[in-house]
Amino acid sequence: MDLSVNEAGLAAGEKVFADEPPEYKVILLNDDYTTKEFVTEVLVRIFRKTPEEAVTLMEKVHTSGSAVVGIYVYDIAATRTSATIQAARKNGFPLQCAMERV
């Protein structure tokens, strides 16, 4: 039986799997001022949802108070959260977006 070990300390044929990076939920929060049209546009442009998906999610945010709009690795979640808040402020809306580790 050949149990030779390579330079990395692994037996022949043994594989190393890196841990998956943690994921984060991006959550949109409802408010009384941001228009449904703007929320739908954000979902299409920033979160790359189809118009149909965007309308469904927008309605969920509106009726439930919040909705998870995507699950991403940290960098993507942070970028989309920031882009959403910046777009909202630029357009005069108080829309809030949050991240939560899965």
pLDDT digits 0-9 by tens, 8-60: 566 666 666 778 999 999 999 999 999 999 999 999 999 999 999 999 999 99
Q: Specify the pLDDT at position 19.
A: 86
Please give the single-letter amino acid code of residue 42: V
Instruction: Locate the domains of the chain by residue range.
Output: 23-101
User: 3-state SS of 48-75?
Assistant: CCCHHHHHHHHHHHHHHCEEEEEEEEHH
pLDDT digits 0-9 by tens, 56-95: 999 999 999 999 999 999 999 999 999 999 999 999 999 9
Residue 37 CA to residue 21 CA, distance in Å, equals 34
pTM of this structure? 0.81
Instruction: Write out the E strands in 1-102.
Output: 23-29, 66-73, 96-101
Domain 23-101: which CATH number of 3.30.70.270, 3.30.1390.10, 3.90.1150.10, 3.40.50.300: 3.30.1390.10
